[in-house]
Amino acid sequence: MTILKKVKENLFLAIVTLAYIIMFIANPAMGIESVKNSGYYIKEMLMIMPVIFVLTALLDMWVPKEKIMRYLGKDAGAKGIFLSFVVGSISAGPIYAAFPMCVMLHKKGASIRNIVIILSSWAVIKVPMLLNEAKFLGPKFMAIRWVLTVLAIIIFSWISAKIIKDEDLPGEVMVKPGLHINRNACMGCTLCAKNYPVLFEMKGKKAAVKEYNKELLDFENLQSAIRACPLHAIEYSEE
Ligand code: SF4
């Protein structure tokens, strides 16, 4: 039972390990090659990721939540889309370096749509990549691919934002300006949902905030839900 539970908790790791075992049995030479390739990428990640974590922590400290919400949040509109393209296009480093930064941006209120745009433009329309593309394949090829890729990113980011909700991502979620739940800390005791069911609900085994109108908030109920949370996972501040 314990082994099954562990496998369930680390499903992705278990699938990768199983794939390696099958590869070693079916084709040992390919298995050795795969281990070598994985070793190369792990070494690369170990060199790059500490720098990325430091940069992300510094950005986390220096850039206030209000700014991220204003420029990359749900209400940022076309300005947010444009800025997300700029951030993704001028960034440097491999795409996996973007993930911790995007987690930080999401925690501070960046919308799912803008995060998808940053990740996508980081992956396929970075400026150095475009310059190389123009050099080897010609400016016309590069320009047409850029326009079509940007259009595709806009469409797919819109679809992604319809399917993926803030609560689906791990970590502290800024649901609306001023009110958020640290879902990492939440232990799913349901006290908040019982104290203020109009505002809080349980999603999976964690609490989440329902859509709400700030004008209609009952601050007494909100405060008692905040006080009742044993993990201090709910935060509310006036904008
Ligand atoms: S009261 Fe706190 S710990 Fe309990 S479900 Fe709500 S947010 Fe999570």
Domain boundaries along the sequence of the chain = 14-53, 63-164, 169-236
Residue among 117, 122, 180, 118 at smallest CA distance from 151: 117
Contacts (Cβ under 8 Å, ≥6 apart) of 226: 234, 235, 236
Please give the pLDDT value at position 42.
86
Say if ligand 1 is within 6 A of residue 187 CB.
yes
Q: From atom 4 of ligand 1, which residue's Cα is the shortest distance away? A: 189
Tell whether the model's pLDDT for residue 239 goes beyond 60: no
Task: Give backbone dihedrals phi and psi of 101, rounded to 5 degrees, phi first.
Answer: -65, -40
pLDDT digits (tens, 9 = 90+) for 203-220: 878 888 888 887 888 888
For residue 56, the one-letter residue type is T
Is residue 188 in contact with ligand 1, taking CB distance under 6 Å? yes
Condensed to tens digits (0 to 9), the pLDDT of residues 58-76 reads 877 788 877 888 899 888 8
Residue whose pair of structure tokens reads 């993926």 in the numeric block: 164
The CATH architecture one would assign to domain 169-236 is 2-Layer Sandwich (3.30)
**CA 233 – ligand 1 centroid, Å:** 6
Q: Compute, in angstroms, the gap from residue 206 CA to the centroid of ligand 1.
A: 7
The model carries a pTM of 0.65
The pLDDT of residue 231 is 80
192 lines ligand 1 (CB under 6 A): yes
Confidence class of residue 238 from pLDDT cuts 50, 70 and 90? low
Which two tokens mark 107?
């925690």
Confidence check: pLDDT of 156 > 90: yes
User: What three-state secondary structure class fits 73?
Assistant: coil
